[in-house]
Amino acid sequence: MDLKVELFDESNIDQIKWPRGYDGEYARNYLIPLIKEGTDRYINNIKTKLMILSIDNILLPITINESEYDNSYVCSPYTHYVSYSIEELKELKEPKLESGFRFVLNILGSLLKAGKVNKTIHVNNWLVSTNLYATMTKEQVQEVTGFLSRRFPGYTIVFRSLNQFTNSSIFDSFGDLGFEMIASRRAYIFDPHKELNSKARHILKKDRKVLEDSDYVWVDAGGISSDDIDRLLSLYNQLYLDKYSYLNPQFSREFIKLALNSKILELFALKDSEEIKGTIGFFHRNGVMTTPFFGYDLKVSKEAGLYRILSLKLMEEARSRNLILHQSSGAGEFKKCRGGVPVVEYSAVYIKQLPLFRKAVWKMLSIITNKIAMPIIIEKGL
């Protein structure tokens, strides 16, 4: 059976037949502004050509890049595997190992640039840390890959944010279709259907007590005004940009305004009697939720338990909605103690259509990442 594939950009986006229901409304509210006004209006460090690919009743945003080595890692393999990795070397806490890896990464970076690693099309790229997938079949993946290979010869085709837990129905299909499966990070999954052990239940009970004994209250989007946008953004920036890395998505004020007005994120604010101290923003697709927007006031003492309270809220929202919670990466011990299950996340990379040297560069990256870097990340619990 032939599968119909169509591609839309700013010239014909008004011709899209948006699917009914949550996914169609979400895609329309989110993607139309970014396509018509430009991605960097909403996410400061993302410059890309954003289009929508339609197959059957599924809409997949695709991003098309040539180089853009300063882009956030969400559409720059170079940033993900070189720039971000160099910044994270400090987490190893072993100076000799850090020095050795920095040397290797600098050489790798030169080879990746020579191999045009950023001449890439990312499929199902929502420009956030974790891409959630609609239900897709092996045949649909094959048709999308073939269509893009013909339409954009010379581009690498990448499906990011794949793991064997939340993508179990389609994960093996990528290998069957000849994709390179390149590890990207270690993430954590909280499954509300799974019975927690006694240790996790005890820890979560203590987390609830922290909230109960505080003056904090949760406010949903209805209690958040446009006057609060700068504060929400400041809390995200404190954590994800100032503390972690400016290579994370740098959301603009327009993005938060869009999230509030069009509900592309379910936003919550944690307030005390004076001001907002923490915030979360999540979305869900196909039974899985994830939180691309998360932040809290780093000036507040650790004893106040802001991170514990925010994390607990996400787990309770997942449980009440019967959704699996993709907890992203980082804070591994914290998440495992509360029932989080570690998974290795991969990017499926299609390189069969590339010249020999560019294929070799991607295969080299696969070996370094899968055989060297990821085992160290697992061993160190990063």
The CATH 3.40.630.30 domain(s) of the chain lie at 190-341
Beta bridge partners of 189: 326, 341
Confidence (pLDDT) at 382: 66
Distance of CA 94 to the CA centre of its chain: 28
CB 187 within 8 A of CB 151: no
CB 187 within 8 A of CB 347: no
Q: Is 153 helix (H, G, I), strand (E, B) or coil?
A: coil
Amino acid at the residue 139: E
380: closest CA among 354, 348, 342? 342
Confidence (pLDDT) at 376: 85
Ordered per-residue pLDDT tens for the chain, 382 residues? 568 899 999 999 999 999 999 999 999 999 999 999 999 999 999 999 999 999 998 999 999 999 999 999 999 999 999 999 999 888 878 888 889 889 999 999 999 999 999 999 999 999 999 999 999 999 999 999 999 999 999 999 999 999 999 999 999 999 999 999 999 999 999 999 999 999 999 999 999 999 999 999 999 999 999 999 999 999 999 999 999 999 999 999 999 999 999 999 999 999 998 899 999 999 999 999 999 999 999 999 999 999 999 999 999 999 999 999 999 999 999 999 999 999 999 999 999 999 999 999 999 999 999 999 899 888 877 6
Quote the tokens at residue 335. 């998440």
Amino acid at the residue 371: K
Residue ranges of the alpha helices (H) in the chain? 22-37, 77-78, 84-88, 95-114, 138-151, 171-176, 198-212, 229-236, 253-262, 306-321, 332-337, 356-367, 374-380
Integer angstrom CA distances of residue 303 from 81, 96, 289, 313, 335: 35, 34, 28, 18, 18
Alpha carbons 290 and 278: distance in angstroms, whole number = 17
CATH label, 190-341, candidates 3.40.630.30, 3.30.70.370, 3.90.1150.10, 3.50.50.60: 3.40.630.30
49: closest CA among 148, 183, 161? 148
DSSP state of 370: I
**pTM for the whole thing?**
0.95
